[in-house]
Amino acid sequence: MYRKMLSIAVAGAMSLSVASANTVDVDALASKVEADVISWRHHFHEFPELSNREFKTAEYVASYLKSLGLQVQTGVAKTGVVAILDSGKPGPVVALRADMDGLPVKEESALSYRSNQLGEYNGKEVPVMHACGHDTHMAMLMGAAKILTDIKGELKGKVKFIFQPAEEGAPAGEKGGAEVMVKEGVLKNPDVDAIFGLHISANTDVGTVRYNSGGTMAAVDPFKIVVHGKQAHGAYPWKSVDPIVTSAQMIMSIQTIVSRELKLIDDAAVVSIGSIHGGNRSNIIPSEVEMVGTIRTLNKAAREHIYEALPRKVKAIAESMGAEAELTLPLDYYYPITYNDPELTQQMLPTMQRTAGVENTLLSKPVTGAEDFSFFQEQVPGLYVWVGGKPLDVSEEDSPAHHTPEFYVDDSGMKLGVKLLTNFTLDYMAKH
C-alpha cells in the first residue's frame, strides 16, 4: 500500500514538472480563436441533426479540418469524422473526441440561433435540438484542432481528432456511436496511446472543471421482462394466473437487489423499471405483462452481482405465482462504465489545475448518467471531465437541466474547454 501511494506521489510530482514546462501561451491562442469557436457553436446549435443522421454536420466539420491541412476520413461509423495531425516527430498518439448528435427535443428559448429543425425519430417527424451541449463539444474540439495545427512544431507525435456520431444512441434497428467506431478501428492506424474527452455542464459554473478518478459515469444495461400468465375475468381471479400481481411482486423484489444485496458504501447502483404494459380493460386479468427497465452500476462487481440476482428473482417469483417469465438482459444495447484511468488522471491533474486554477479544479462524485466514451476507455487509457457552462449569475437550482427544452449553456464556458483539450495534448506528449 505504501509503495502504491509513493508511486502515485512521484507520478504526480513528475507530471507537475512537465505541465509547468509547457511554454506555449495556450490562453492567448484560445482567446484568438474564441470568436470562431462561438460562431461554430451557434451554427451547430441552429442546425442540429439526430443520431446517425449527422450528414450536414459531418460535412461542415470535415470541410474545416481539411482547410487546416489535416488528413481527414469521413463516413466512420456512418457519419463520423476523423482527422490526423502528424507532427513529423516521434511521440505518442493522443486522441481527442467530441460527439455530434442532437436530441428529439423542441427548443424553448429566445436565442437568435435557436433551432427550428425537424428530423425523423422512430418513424415520426420530431423537432431537433442540441439539448445536451454536443454543439459546444464540436466547436471546442475544432478550436483545439486550430491551435494544435498552428503550433505543430511544438508537438511530438500525432493527434487524432474524433468527431463521433450517435452518442445519444442509434435509431431503432441500427448500430452507432463509439462502439461502432472502435469496431471499425478508430483507435488503430495509428494506435492511440490515450484519449481525452469533455462534456459541457449546465449546472457547473463557467470557468470550472470537474473530474473524478476511476468509475465516473455508470454502465448502462437495459432489460426487458415478459410475464406470461393465464387470462380470466376480473371477477374470478382464482381462475387466472395473474401477471399483473406477479409483475408487482417482481418490481418490489428487484429493488432489494440494490438496497439489501449491494455494498452501497462502495459505489451507487440503480435498478429502475421505466415502463410496464399489460391488459386493456378494468374487468379482464390479462395473459401477459411486459416491463422494461435499466441497470446503472459504477463498478464491475456490482454489475456482475445484478446480472446474477435479477434472473434469480424473476424466475423464483414467477414460479411461486405459477407464471412464466422471460428476461432479456441486456435488451438492445449497453454502455460500459466510464472509467477514468487513475494513473492518467493523476498525471493530468496538474494540467487541469494550471489551466483552470487550483480553486476551479473540483473533485466530483461519480454520477449514474452514462457516456459511450466508455467504449474508447475499454481499449486505451482515457480521461473524461466536465467543463462549466452555467453563467455565474444563475443559481444551480435555476439552471435548466440537460435534455430539456430550456437547456442552456453560456458561450463563455467554451474557452476553458479549448484550453484543456490543447493542454492535455501538449502535456501528455511532453510526459510520454
The catalytic residues are 101, 167
Residues β-bridged to residue 223: 293
Torsional class of 321: left (φ above 0), alpha (ψ -120 to 50), beta (otherwise): alpha
Distance, in Å, from the CA atom of 129 to the CA atom of 257, rounded to the nearest integer, reads: 37
Half-sphere exposure of 148 (CA within 13 A, CB side): 34
**Cβ neighbours for 10, distance < 8 A, ≥ 6 positions apart:** none
Q: Are strands 80-86 and 158-164 parallel, antiparallel or unpaired?
A: antiparallel
Distance, in Å, from the CA atom of 401 to the CA atom of 27, rounded to the nearest integer, reads: 29
Please, are residues 157 and 87 in contact by the beta-carbon 8 Å criterion? yes
Distance, in Å, from the CA atom of 197 to the CA atom of 167, rounded to the nearest integer, reads: 13
Distance, in Å, from the CA atom of 355 to the CA atom of 328, rounded to the nearest integer, reads: 46
Distance, in Å, from the CA atom of 97 to the CA atom of 382, rounded to the nearest integer, reads: 11
Distance, in Å, from the CA atom of 131 to the CA atom of 403, rounded to the nearest integer, reads: 5
Instruction: Please provide the distance, in angstroms rounded to a whole number, between the alpha carbons at the two ends of the chain.
Output: 26
Torsional class of 185: left (φ above 0), alpha (ψ -120 to 50), beta (otherwise): left
Question: All 3 cell numbers of residue 172?
Answer: 431503432
Alpha-helical regions (H) of 232-386: 243-256, 300-320, 342-356, 374-377
Beta-strand (E) ranges in 191-348? 194-205, 209-211, 214-217, 219-228, 232-233, 269-277, 284-285, 288-297, 324-328, 338-340
Please, are residues 267 and 302 in contact by the beta-carbon 8 Å criterion? yes
Q: Return the C-alpha torsion angle 185, 186, 187, 190, nearest 10.
A: 90
Distance, in Å, from the CA atom of 119 to the CA atom of 124, rounded to the nearest integer, reads: 8
